[in-house]
């Protein structure tokens, strides 16, 4: 399942927006670490975030801190890690944005191959 706005007919306050799948796995809340990307050079931010995500076990999460809405990162996660992540705004600006990004499913065995993974 691709990340999406869950069960909302009208747009709620940004601090309440939850994307992706449920942020709890088997009734156990995820463990979290803070990644403040403001301290990382811009060209290294997305690769660093994806490396951190790829190291997460199912059920774990980290909090991403940034100085702007990381929505483009959400779209990149949707394209590159569909069905594997959960996305929840914890704080929504204007000075600081915090997003909880969690792993809800294991990565397919052959990421980066020509198969999209939907054929089985």
How far is the CA of 43 from the CAs of 47, 49, 91, in angstroms? Answer: 8, 11, 24
pLDDT of residue 31: 52
- Taking the C-alpha atoms of residue 88 and residue 15, their distance in angstroms, rounded to an integer, is 8
Q: How many CB atoms lie within 10 A of CB 106?
A: 9
pTM of the prediction? 0.68
Q: Domain coordinates of the chain in residue numbers? A: 13-64+72-83
Residue ranges in the chain modelled with pLDDT below 70: 1-31, 110-120
């Amino acid at each position: 399942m691709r990340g999406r706005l869950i069960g909302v007919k009208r747009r709620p306050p940004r601090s309440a927006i939850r994307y992706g799948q449920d942020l709890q796995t088997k009734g156990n809340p995820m463990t979290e670490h803070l990644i403040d990307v403001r301290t990382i050079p811009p060209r290294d931010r997305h690769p660093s975030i994806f490396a951190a995500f790829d190291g997460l076990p199912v059920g774990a999460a980290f909090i991403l801190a940034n100085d702007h809405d990381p929505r483009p990162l959400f779209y990149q996660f949707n394209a590159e890690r569909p069905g594997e992540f959960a996305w929840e705004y914890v704080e929504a600006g204007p000075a600081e944005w915090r997003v909880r990004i969690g792993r809800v499913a294991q990565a397919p065995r052959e990421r980066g191959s020509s198969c999209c993974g939907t054929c089985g």
